[in-house]
Amino acid sequence: MTPKEVIALAKEKGCKILDLRFCDFPGTWQHTSYPISELTEDCFEEGFGFDGSSIRGWQAINESDMLLKPQADTAFIDPFREIPTLCLICNIADPVTGSDYTRDPRNIAKKSIEHMRSTGIADTCFIGPEAEFFVFDNVQYDSQRDTSFYSINSTEAVWNSGADEGPNLGHKIRLKEGYFPCPPTDTLMDLRSAMIMHMLDAGIPVECHHHEVATAGQCEIDMRFSDLVAMGDMLMKYKYIVKSTAHAFGKSATFMPKPVFEDNGSGMHTHLSLWKDSKPLFAGDGYAGLSETALFAVGGVLKHAAALIAFTNPTTISYKRLVPGYEAPVNLAISQRNRSASVRIPVYSKSPKAKRFEFRCPDPTANGYLAFSALLMAALDGIQNKIDPGNPLDVNIYDLSPEEAAGIPKTPASLEEALAALEKDHEFLLKGDVFTPDVIETWINYKMENEVDELRLRPHPHEFMMYYDI
């Protein structure tokens, strides 16, 4: 859409409010609203001023002024607002120099595509994330000096099989048995259907939706693949629509990777393929039907996986999902069908256009713009340096001897370990000025100070269970 077409859309839909949205450094959508009369063709170039020092991980107080620059091709109508509202996703710019802001995640995504094209390797990067989430009927939590707790509940959960629900109608989901049950066991079909109706209206192409493995309302809605920057936008809209639709139904949705103990967590398996001149580059006669280019791309991802995971799995709770035994992709290897391998090659379709690899480590707490960009940069580094992905892991990992299993590299065991890997291995991200040294340093410092250290300093409720009587 052009600015003129956006203004025409606003008039056609009777919009009264203009809502400007942007992604902060960790990955949460922020917004500010104006009367629709403020929407002019000039504003797409001139932008809207705001205080960047109040946004997590951004400007210092002495250089706080920044600009929101609406992007016309991101326009959509907010389906949840009582007053008709037009939404536009924005890029962030410096009002003095006019240049794009280096810590703007969307700008980093744009630069990753520009760098890819400058290498001559490809002109298009398609991304397809599979973001899972939980829907709860009640959520309570607190963390103070004198208390710390959480309590979650879902009418589907196995722990409610004996609850007095007045009446309890049964049909509870046992642990690890939530994949594809029909209603009435799947109580969330209408909710997910409402979500995808909103997604389609907001310009998100949707392929399917279903219940996922875990008890307590785990769900998945699959978006059709798109180019990297557009998919970063769509993931932000996806999360907004999932949370807002659940809220409208009197429920709460979360993208936390591991909210339920001893059951499957929520991942965001991410598919990637490269194209040039409208032709797929990953189909060939190598392992699993991959081209040499694709295998080198996988080699780059596996080589840099520990550092890459600092962006694709960016929370302390991410590593409570990345543990053996829950279909978690903890083994840094390639495989056609082994779901415990971090890189899987889907074999559902024989079409060259469908040939891709799936990086299974990411989870939906990731900032999509940063995670997808880092994944692309690792793949490009692998292609440029002809990095061998190693031997495939096409055996059942649980059939291996302890010695054989120990020889397979594993994902980092904690966010701190992943950040340490990123500190040592980030040169591949600096190519093309995609991730600047400032971005890497700020990401590591922000995560260490605001997440790793904050959790490390606090007593955990389970530590009382283990140690109070010692």
Q: What is the pLDDT of residues 271-309, one digit of tens each?
A: 999 999 999 999 999 999 999 999 999 999 999 999 999
Q: Does position 181 have pLDDT exceeding 90, yes or no?
A: yes
Q: What is the pLDDT of residue 148?
A: 96
Total Cβ atoms within 10 A of residue 83:
11
Q: Which domains does the chain have, with CATH numbers?
A: 3-101 (3.10.20.70), 124-467 (3.30.590.10)
- In whole numbers, what is the pLDDT of the chain averaged over residues? 95
Residue recorded with tokens 């109608």: 169
Asked if residue 165 belongs to a known ligand binding site, the reply is no
Which among 421, 220, 166, 228 is positioned nearest to 319, based on CA atoms? 421
Q: What is the pLDDT of residue 62?
A: 59
* pLDDT mean over 71-88: 97
Cα 253 to its chain centre, rounded Å, is 15
| Backbone dihedral angles phi then psi of residue 249, each to the nearest 5 degrees | -90, 5
Is residue 242 within 8 A of residue 145, CB to CB? The reply is no
Tens of pLDDT, residues 392-427: 988 776 677 778 778 889 999 999 999 999 999 999
Asked if residue 177 belongs to a known ligand binding site, the reply is no
Burial class (CB within 10 angstroms; exposed 0-12, middle 13-18, buried 19+) of 220: buried
Tens of pLDDT, residues 342-359: 999 998 778 999 999 999
Asked if residue 132 belongs to a known ligand binding site, the reply is yes
Asked if residue 220 belongs to a known ligand binding site, the reply is yes
Query: Residues with catalytic annotation?
Result: 51, 130, 132, 212, 220, 269, 339, 358, 360
| Backbone dihedral angles phi then psi of residue 62, each to the nearest 5 degrees | -85, -5
Q: Does position 118 have pLDDT exceeding 70, yes or no?
A: yes
Taking the alpha carbons at both ends of the chain, their separation in whole angstroms is 66
Is residue 418 within 8 A of residue 307, CB to CB? The reply is yes
* pLDDT mean over 256-268: 95
Beta strand pairing call for 17-23 and 85-93:
parallel
Q: What is the pLDDT of residue 129?
A: 98
Asked if residue 360 belongs to a known ligand binding site, the reply is yes
Tens of pLDDT, residues 63-76: 678 999 999 999 99
Q: Quote the CA–CA distance of 188 and 168 in Å, as a whole number.
A: 17
Is residue 243 within 8 A of residue 221, CB to CB? The reply is no
Cα 96 to its chain centre, rounded Å, is 32
Is residue 373 within 8 A of residue 112, CB to CB? The reply is yes
Q: What is the pLDDT of residue 398?
A: 63
Of how many residues is the chain composed? 470
Asked if residue 212 belongs to a known ligand binding site, the reply is yes
Q: Quote the CA–CA distance of 417 and 411 in Å, as a whole number.
A: 9
Share of the chain above pLDDT 70, in %: 98
Q: Quote the CA–CA distance of 114 and 156 in Å, as a whole number.
A: 46
Asked if residue 451 belongs to a known ligand binding site, the reply is no
Q: Quote the CA–CA distance of 90 and 73 in Å, as a whole number.
A: 10
Beta strand pairing call for 341-344 and 331-335:
parallel
Q: What is the pLDDT of residue 60?
A: 66
E strand or H helix at 89, and its extent?
Answer: strand 85-93
Residue 3: strand, helix, or coil: helix
Least confident window among 20-29, 55-64, 151-160, 167-176: 55-64
Asked if residue 265 belongs to a known ligand binding site, the reply is yes
CA distances for 215 relative to 9, 63, 228, 263, angstroms: 42, 48, 32, 7
CA distances for 369 relative to 244, 305, 345, angstroms: 21, 17, 23
Q: Does position 61 have pLDDT exceeding 70, yes or no?
A: no
Asked if residue 447 belongs to a known ligand binding site, the reply is no
CA 164, 170, 174, 180 dihedral sign is negative
Q: Quote the CA–CA distance of 92 and 52 in Å, as a whole number.
A: 9
Which among 220, 224, 203, 221 is positioned nearest to 212, based on CA atoms? 220
Q: Does position 246 have pLDDT exceeding 80, yes or no?
A: yes
* pLDDT mean over 21-39: 97
